[in-house]
Amino acid sequence: MSSEADGKKDVRAGLQVRGGGPVSAQGPSPRPRRPTRPVKVGPVVIGGGAPVSVQTMTKTDTRDVQATIDEIRRLHIAGADLVRLAVPDREAAKALRAIVRQSPLPIVADIHFHYQLALMALEAGVQKLRLNPGNIGGPERVRAVVREAKARGVPIRIGVNAGSLEKDLLSAHGRVPEALVESAERHVKILEDMDFHDIVVSLKASDVPTMVRAYELMAERSPYPLHLGVTEAGPGLAGTVKSVAGIAHLLLEGIGDTIRVSLTEESAEEVQVGLEILYALGLRTKTLEIVACPSCGRCEIDLFAAVREAERQLQDLKAPVKVAIMGCVVNGPGEAREADVGVAGGNGYAVLFKKGRMERRVTEAEMIPALVAEVRQIAEEKARAGA
């Protein structure tokens, strides 16, 4: 979380009913969720009966801090719970500190082969690493990373991919589910031997039956939470169907603790598909969701008071309406447009957006009453349309 947001209320988490397990407002989930070890990623818990979280990956160059932060803010508004960033080199690792400081979402650093990048990411304050310990060059290097991750309470996701299986496994088994599981177990053992257990595992394949079977096998053999995904699912409809087929199948079996839909599309679309899967399976309930920026030196309104007031006035509302309250007219409008109703505060005034379009300017005193009136109107429209 950003330092600005430290200690401040997570507005979205406070209002959104995050279904999951047997107590979703839409009824019980299809099968009891598989018991797993809870793993903390900043304020988000993966496994241990926590609601299934939705994550995605930024498509920006991580070295471009502003572009990356802008994308993360859009993902926050879209409903992502955490976000992963590629860290291919030292420059990207150096950018992490500023990104972590400003990000409204927990950051996962995705690292291949370079243990020093993992150490830099940990020093920058990332909340999770995605790294395969068997690929970072020997026990001493793994130990250095594990020691630091443990000291900071940062978990590690082991991400096995059918496209990059170890050669010996490929020649012994081929690209089959059992080989994916064996590869994951090798990496897990390296961490367990160092008494590290804050582990999340993924076993991705672009072939849906292979991916599904690999996760089923792993779920029978391992206590660690599972990150579900169909890798390289592709663009548009075909990619969406592949992702839904694999992820939904497993979730219906009670398997899976966090999901990532991979599409050759905008990352916000991946989040939207992920959320729709959870809604469709009754693992999350659509309801009023208020998101707010974490605030920063640009903020020109009393953001926290405004958010509290909106929350108070809308607490009775059960409709699936997304509301954004942003602190400034520099970066706020982009995000405010993504919500059903959004406001971006200026000096003594605010700009009100509805369904992606700028509606009007209001005074700061009128801001929350105007927002609440628009939200109620949208809620009524949605109720009439049977949303």
Going 88 to 236 to 207 to 21, the CA torsion angle's sign is positive
Q: Which helix (H) or strand (E) element contains residue 326?
A: strand 322-326
Residues 50-109 that bind ligand SF4 (CB under 6 A): none
Q: Compare residues 101 and 260 and give the one whose CB is closer to ligand SF4.
A: 101
Q: Which helix (H) or strand (E) element contains residue 239?
A: helix 236-252
Closest CA to 193 of 152, 153, 142: 142
Draw the binding track, 269-308, toward ligand SF4 (x: CB under 6 A; -: no contact): ------------------------xxxx-xx---------
By CB under 6 A, residue 328 contacts ligand SF4: yes
For 72-228, list the strands marked E by DSSP: 82-86, 107-110, 128-130, 156-161, 199-204, 227-228
By CB under 6 A, residue 330 contacts ligand SF4: yes
Q: Compare residues 263 and 325 and give the one whose CB is closer to ligand SF4.
A: 325
What is the closest distance, in whole angstroms, from the C-beta atom of residue 99 to ligand SF4 in the complex?
13
What is the closest distance, in whole angstroms, from the C-beta atom of residue 62 to ligand SF4 in the complex?
19
What is the closest distance, in whole angstroms, from the C-beta atom of residue 2 to ligand SF4 in the complex?
8
What is the closest distance, in whole angstroms, from the C-beta atom of residue 77 to ligand SF4 in the complex?
10
Residues 117-156 that bind ligand SF4 (CB under 6 A): none
Single-letter code of the amino acid located at 103? S
Let me know if 168 is exposed, middle or buried by CB neighbors in 10 A (0-12, 13-18, 19+).
exposed
Show Cβ contacts of residue 107 under 8 Å, excluding neighbours closer than 6 positions: 82, 83, 84, 85, 96, 99, 100, 125, 126, 127, 128
Among residues 332, 342, 354, 371, the one that binds ligand SF4 under rule CB under 6 A: 332
Among residues 53, 103, 210, 331, the one that binds ligand SF4 under rule CB under 6 A: 331
By CB under 6 A, residue 342 contacts ligand SF4: no
Q: Which residues contribute to the site for ligand SF4 (CB under 6 A)?
A: 293-296, 298-299, 326-328, 330-332
